[in-house]
Structure 1
Amino acid sequence: MTTTRVPSAFPDSCPVLAGEEAARRVRRALRRWRGFPVDAVEVEVEEGGTRVVVSGTVEWSHQVTGARLVVADVPGVPRVVVHLDIARPRADSDAERAVRHALVAEALSRAEHIHVAVDGEGTASTWGHVRSFTERHEVEALVRILPGVDRIDSDLEVRPD
Structure 2
Amino acid sequence: MRCKLPYSRAWCIGERNGELESLLDAYKFSNVRAAYKALADLLDLSLSNLPSSVYVIPVPSIATHIRQRGYDHTALIAKEFAHKRKLTYLPCLERKTNTVQRGKGRGKRIKQAKNAFTCHAQLDDNGVYLLIDDVVTTGATVRYGAKALKVAGAKDVWVASISRQPLD
TM above 0.5, yes or no, is no
User: What's the TM-score once normalised by structure 2's chain length?
Assistant: 0.27
Give the structure with the higher percent strand: 1
Structure of greater Rg: 1
User: What's the TM-score once normalised by structure 1's chain length?
Assistant: 0.28
Where relative contact order (Cα < 8 A, 6+ residues apart) is larger, the structure is 2
